[in-house]
Structure 1
Amino acid sequence: MDMKGMEHAVEVETLTVAYDAKPVLWDVNLKVPKGTLMAVVGPNGAGKTTLIKAMLGLLTPVTGAICFSGGKGDGHALKNRIGYVPQSGSVDWDFPATVQDVVLMGCYGKLGWFRRPRKADYELTAQMLKKVGMEQYASRQISQLSGGQQQRVFLARALAQEAEIYFMDEPFKGVDAQTEKAIVLLLKELKEQGKTVMVVHHDLQTVADYFDWVTLINLRVIASGPVEEVFHEENLKMAYRSTGALLRSVV
């Protein structure tokens, strides 16, 4: 596909991130076209979550720059335009908050932390909970939910931000089949609305069904582009190296 003239939601330039002087990402260059539903795939330890966090400004790179829709900046400076769903394992589920409280937090970027939520914010919260099938759990503590239900709540919080760009870190991990189906429908709805969605994903068998773009990564970007063009055996072997048996099951 000709990338010339294509408008990009995010551009990553020569990004290097290291932990304790050990590079986790090395000289990453990546362009995420507007309105795409992109999977980020690669083996464990490839730097997928690190890439998302660096793009959000949650990690400080050694070198490189992140450009959002033509303006330099990070996730903090652009918080009103960016929605983020972290890995479920990174969330303190014992925090004393109800489902409604968590989703209402998605409105704070527009509302401000020191202003009381308005009627419209509560209405938006209820609307987003209904969208993910969790409206009947609004008053329940988040610690009392199943893993799939918790993931739905964090999706609702991201949707309440009414963002332009969404980053999701393994939203399908540990969820039941019904929740996975609901998430896929939401992702495709966001794409239809012209939103840009970047998802760290681990299931190679569903990439072609769920996404239209894919980035294969293993310390560096192996390939990035439309699924039908770059999601093939040669690139997968480069990304996963010695996992030939796995690749033959999905290619």
Structure 2
Amino acid sequence: MERQQDYAVEVEDLTVAYDAKPVLWDIDLKIPKGKLMAVVGPNGAGKTTLIKAMLGLLKPVTGAVRFLDGNDDIRTLKNRIGYVPQSGSVDWDFPATVQDVVLMGCYGKLGWIRRPGKPDVELAIQMLAKVGMQEYASRQISQLSGGQQQRVFLARALAQEAEVYFMDEPFKGVDAQTERAIVALLKELKEQNKTVVVVHHDLQTVPDYFDWVTLINLRVVACGPVEEVFHENNLKKTYQSSGTFLRGVM
């Protein structure tokens, strides 16, 4: 039997509603440490809502979320939890350089009063190198392409040196080169025993990119190792489809 501390995230009886209409219902999840987990489901299934509720960005009607050693107060875990939002939700006109954006990932450790020092700048450059963006360090973030901006936000999350990462559709709108770079980063994080939760929409790449998956459509249909729960029967339940879209997936 797995002990509580073996889980990176535990979600219990989570219900979220907008204007009294439930958009997530009785969600129960246990995500072990060191997993790359995809969250998949149709449009409107509540994938992004689930991520935001787990991060405390949305207040649930009922339920509890616990991280790492059973801590249910995410405010005390900001150094240990990283978040990469959807690119469309970010104000890219904000006047900041690429390096400035990545340094924001250090503020959880520094606090808002201390200014980043030389070690923090070196860490930011190192993280930009990991995503192939070090030569853009002095460029304004608004001047980058969508794929480049996504890489910078990944570098910011890496600079945080968190233990659990949440990423909301990091592959959306990026080119093939950026997608390969992101996949390599995810696998590197797994090797470091980090836990990564990714809202994902491409069913065909789930078995290649992830080792854990949650299928969701307002409720959890299944959650577990990809080889055990990512199969046609569960996908039909999730997408309420005849299954024709599964050709070439399984």
Alpha-carbon separation, structure 2, partners of 1:109 and 1:73:
18
1:146 maps to 2:142: no
Aligned to 1:8: 7
The residue type paired with residue 228 of structure 1 is E
TM-score by length of 2: 0.97
Alpha-carbon separation, structure 2, partners of 1:75 and 1:52:
13
1:164 maps to 2:169: no
Structure 2 residue runs without a partner (length 5+): none
User: How far off is 1:5 after superposition?
Assistant: 4.8
Alpha-carbon separation, structure 2, partners of 1:76 and 1:85:
17
The residue type paired with residue 232 of structure 1 is H
1:164-207 CA-to-partner distances (Å, cap 9, x unmatched) read: 00000000000000000000000000000010000000000000
C-alpha distance 93-243 of structure 1, shift in aligned 2 (>3 A): farther
C-alpha distance 12-185 of structure 1, shift in aligned 2 (>3 A): same
How many pairs does the alignment contain?
A: 249
Alpha-carbon separation, structure 2, partners of 1:245 and 1:76:
44
Aligned to 1:94: 93
Alpha-carbon separation, structure 1, partners of 2:18 and 2:30:
24
Alpha-carbon separation, structure 2, partners of 1:81 and 1:210:
23
Aligned to 1:242: 241
Aligned to 1:201: 200
Which aligned runs of 4 or more in structure 1 are off by greater than 4 angstroms? none
The residue type paired with residue 244 of structure 1 is G
Q: Which moved more, 1:180-189 or 1:72-81?
A: 72-81
CA contact (8 A) 1:55 1:74 kept: no
Alpha-carbon separation, structure 1, partners of 2:153 and 2:173:
14
User: How far off is 1:250 after superposition?
Assistant: 1.0
Aligned-partner SS, 2:223: strand
1:137 maps to 2:136: yes
Aligned to 2:71: 72
Alpha-carbon separation, structure 1, partners of 2:75 and 2:137:
28
Aligned to 2:34: 35
1:24-81 CA-to-partner distances (Å, cap 9, x unmatched) read: 1000000000000000000000000000001101000000000112333243331110
The residue type paired with residue 234 of structure 1 is N
1:84-105 CA-to-partner distances (Å, cap 9, x unmatched) read: 0000000000000110000000
CA contact (8 A) 2:38 2:198 kept: yes
**Identity across aligned pairs (percent)?**
82
C-alpha distance 243-172 of structure 1, shift in aligned 2 (>3 A): farther
Aligned-partner SS, 2:76: coil
Aligned-partner SS, 2:45: coil
Alpha-carbon separation, structure 2, partners of 1:243 and 1:144:
44
Alpha-carbon separation, structure 2, partners of 1:191 and 1:145:
28
Report matched runs for 1:179-218 at 5 Å.
Answer: 179-218=178-217
Alpha-carbon separation, structure 1, partners of 2:84 and 2:16:
21
Aligned-partner SS, 2:161: coil
Alpha-carbon separation, structure 1, partners of 2:222 and 2:177:
31
User: How far off is 1:115 after superposition?
Assistant: 1.0
User: How far off is 1:245 after superposition?
Assistant: 1.9
Structure 1 residue runs without a partner (length 5+): none
Alpha-carbon separation, structure 2, partners of 1:5 and 1:57:
24
1:52 maps to 2:54: no
Alpha-carbon separation, structure 2, partners of 1:235 and 1:74:
33
User: How far off is 1:131 after superposition?
Assistant: 0.7
1:128-173 CA-to-partner distances (Å, cap 9, x unmatched) read: 0011000000010111000100000000000000000000000000
Alpha-carbon separation, structure 2, partners of 1:4 and 1:149:
40
User: How far off is 1:243 after superposition?
Assistant: 5.6
TM-score by length of 1: 0.97
